[in-house]
Chains A and B, each alone.
Chain A
């Protein structure tokens, strides 16, 4: 008699469910094939024919895997998305904004890119170094919260860098406006201002967030892989 457990396990290799849930599905489907096989044998089928009939129960294992996954998780999509992406992202955004406000009010003076000798019209980048140095912790927290909720790589990455999204959005909206209205608007939203502001508010904070978030992601992923290997 074929080893139905081994067959189902190998065919449903890509089934992305919790370990215990996946094991239950494999056991249940294997038991079904087992009984189908025995039922056919009792009805006089030769072993090979019975095995072939059982194999015909599933034409496309990948499709079955997809259907099972959808059936088991579909109605949790919203909840999962909230837990894996929105909550960690909004939490890190809020934390970084509150921290920036506190640093602006009570913290040390920011570093500015323009010296006193430069012209008054030169765009000035204002960098809150103490804020930048605190961002790796916030990135790490975002990664941890998203991973703990079972977030995908995409969700974890988005949760890490989410605090810079408002600035990215500002650049995405503001830059075209500046390009169109360059000569007609105030000097502080001209293209040079964007070029100076982009590293100060998007690139440096993004790198700082990733510097904290990615090691956490790597560390926890390794631990999970080790657990999976240990659990068979």
Chain B
């Protein structure tokens, strides 16, 4: 299981990455991230929504209310053009970090 500190750093990348595939509401987003990371990243409600609101405030994502076929109202989030712009340097930063960690022998053998 990944620790809270590392998870916090990767959270925005995870959210932007899943939203790149299409709009999702909060619950779906949390499930998608959990499934795609095979349970390594799991967001509780308490962790997810403050982050979504923060990202929305920065205009990286945009939430709109939608009504599903069964009449339920859900807030669907979409990645915005500025979110897409942010995603690429974020990926680059994390990729560089992982490469750097891999270069450390002790980490590689951990």
Contact = CB atoms under 8 A, between A and B. Distances in A.
A19 B92 CA distance: 40
Interface string B19-32: 00000011100010
A74 interface: yes
Interface residues of A, number: 25
Given A57-B46, A60-B46, A75 B57 contact: yes
Interface stretch (A63-71, A110-118, A205-213): A63-71
B46 A28 contact: no
Interface residues of B, number: 20
Contact of A28 (B31, B44, B49, B50): B49
Interface in A67-125: 67-68, 70-72, 74-75
B81 to A, nearest CB: 19
Interface stretch (A29-37, A182-190, A196-204): A29-37
Given A32-B26, A71-B53, A75-B58, A24 B75 contact: yes
B73 interface: yes
Contacts of B26: 28, 31-32
B51 interface: yes
A29 B58 CA distance: 20
Contacts, number: 58
B102 interface: no
A71 B46 contact: no
Given A71-B53, A71-B54, A75-B58, A31 B44 contact: no
A39 B31 contact: yes
A31 B74 contact: yes
Q: Is the interface of B mostly helix, strand, loop or mixed?
A: helix
A71 B50 contact: yes
Contacts of A60: 46
B45 interface: yes
B72 interface: yes
A64 B53 CA distance: 12
Contacts of B44: 56-58
A67 B50 CA distance: 6
Interface in B30-78: 31, 44-46, 48-51, 53-54, 57-58, 65, 72-75
B54 to A, nearest CB: 4
Nearest to A73: B57
Given A31-B72, A57-B44, A68-B49, 6 more contacts: A24-B75, A27-B73, A31-B26, A64-B45, A68-B50, A72-B57
26 contacts: A24-B65, A25-B49, A28-B26, A31-B25, A31-B27, A31-B73, A31-B74, A32-B26, A32-B27, A32-B45, A32-B48, A33-B45, A35-B27, A39-B27, A58-B44, A59-B46, A63-B46, A64-B45, A67-B46, A68-B53, A71-B51, A71-B53, A72-B53, A72-B57, A74-B54, A74-B57
Interface of B: 25-27, 31, 44-46, 48-51, 53-54, 57-58, 65, 72-75
Interface of A: 24-25, 27-29, 31-33, 35-36, 39, 56-60, 63-64, 67-68, 70-72, 74-75
Q: Which 8 A-B pairs have the closest CB atoms?
A: A67-B50, A71-B53, A71-B54, A57-B45, A35-B27, A58-B46, A71-B50, A57-B44
